[in-house]
Amino acid sequence: MTATATRAKTPAASPGTPARVRSSIARTPRTFYWMVVPAVVIFFGLHTIPVLSGMFFSLTNYAGYGTWDLVGFSNYINLFQDDRVLNSYGFTFGFAIVSTLLVNVIALAIALGLNSKIKFQAAFRGVFFIPYVLAILIIGYVFNYLFANSFPAIFTALGLPGLSSNLLASPDFAWVGIVITTVWQAAAFNVILYLAGLQTISADLYEAAAIDGASGWRRFRSITFPLIGAYFTINMVLSFKSFLQVFDQIVALTAGGPGTSTESIALVIFRGGFQGGEYGYQMANAVVYLFVIIIVSFLQLRILQRREASFS
């Protein structure tokens, strides 16, 4: 009798389930919608509409003022024949690759030191985070002065005349100064992320490895690095994407010079689009640049996530 009653009740519970779900949705406080809808509207107005507008003007010969005509995909075709644009892509990718590798190696080394049992640990963490708080332009102008005045004077006093010239004045080595400045500031944010990852690793793992006689390098290679793989992926993707958009550092340090040797893609788009009467043409450049960043970030994320899976 009991089993029969149970079977009889079971089908009756199913029809009521959708009703309960709808009732739950209906009872969702309107506060959540008031929190989400304004953000969606602002994002659509300040991001989506400008992006769509830029894509439209990339199909025109608009100079930023006056009248314009549709020219189809001629702007996109001309981009791949423009040496200045191609050189800016080469410089930007080279700069981004070098800076990403250096900033992650340096930041991880600093994070390992700050995560160890040292005196004044909290104070050191605060000191290393200061560069990230400062404005990029201010840092750029400070390093500009150092490269142009302080460093040449120091090397001259040390009897090294070969290093006494302004690094930023050399077409071949100006990019080195930009990399130094960028890495010095960007490392702070990466250090914080790596520290967060290192603090998730249990000390028992290191103690067990030490008992087994594992060296410091062995513990890092077999325990530390695999367990912070997700943080390494995040840092690599965010760093590379950020460095591909380098602009402020170049404006403050070299303004794209000497000549056009340190012009980034963002600087070319800004100068041509807002100062050179090439609004439509540079909008096409910006659209290509947008898809390049999306594709590169996607591929980078997939490759690094596969590396994480191979360690797990």
Report whether pLDDT(247) > 90: yes
Q: Is 120 left (phi over 0), alpha (psi -120 to 50) or beta?
A: left
Q: Helices 83-115 and 229-244 sit at what angle, rounded to 10 degrees?
A: 150
Task: Determine the pLDDT at residue 19.
Answer: 54
What percentage of the chain exceeds 90 in pLDDT? 57
> Would you place residue 116 in the very low, low, confident or very high pLDDT band (cuts 50, 70, 90)?
confident
What mean pLDDT do residues 128-143 have? 89
Q: Model confidence over 291-311: pLDDT tens digits? A: 999 999 999 888 888 877 666
Task: Determine the pLDDT at residue 61.
Answer: 93
| Bond before 258 cis per omega within 30 degrees | yes
Q: Which neighbouring-strand residues pair with 60?
A: 70
Amino acid at position 300, single letter: Q
Tokens coding 120: 């004044």
Dmax (CA) for the chain in angstroms is 103
For the chain, list the domains and their CATH numbers: 2-57 (no CATH), 74-311 (1.10.3720.10)
Q: Model confidence over 66-114: pLDDT tens digits? A: 899 999 999 999 999 999 999 999 999 999 999 999 999 999 999 999 9
Task: Determine the pLDDT at residue 88.
Answer: 95
Q: Model confidence over 152-188: pLDDT tens digits? A: 888 888 888 777 888 899 999 999 999 999 999 999 9
Q: Which residues of 257-284 are buried (b: 16+ CB within 10 A; e: fewer)?
A: eeebbbbbbbbbbbbbbeeeebbbbbbb
Instruction: Give the residue ranges of DSSP H helices in the chain.
Output: 2-26, 30-43, 49-57, 74-79, 83-115, 121-133, 136-145, 151-157, 174-198, 203-211, 216-219, 225-227, 229-244, 248-253, 265-270, 279-311
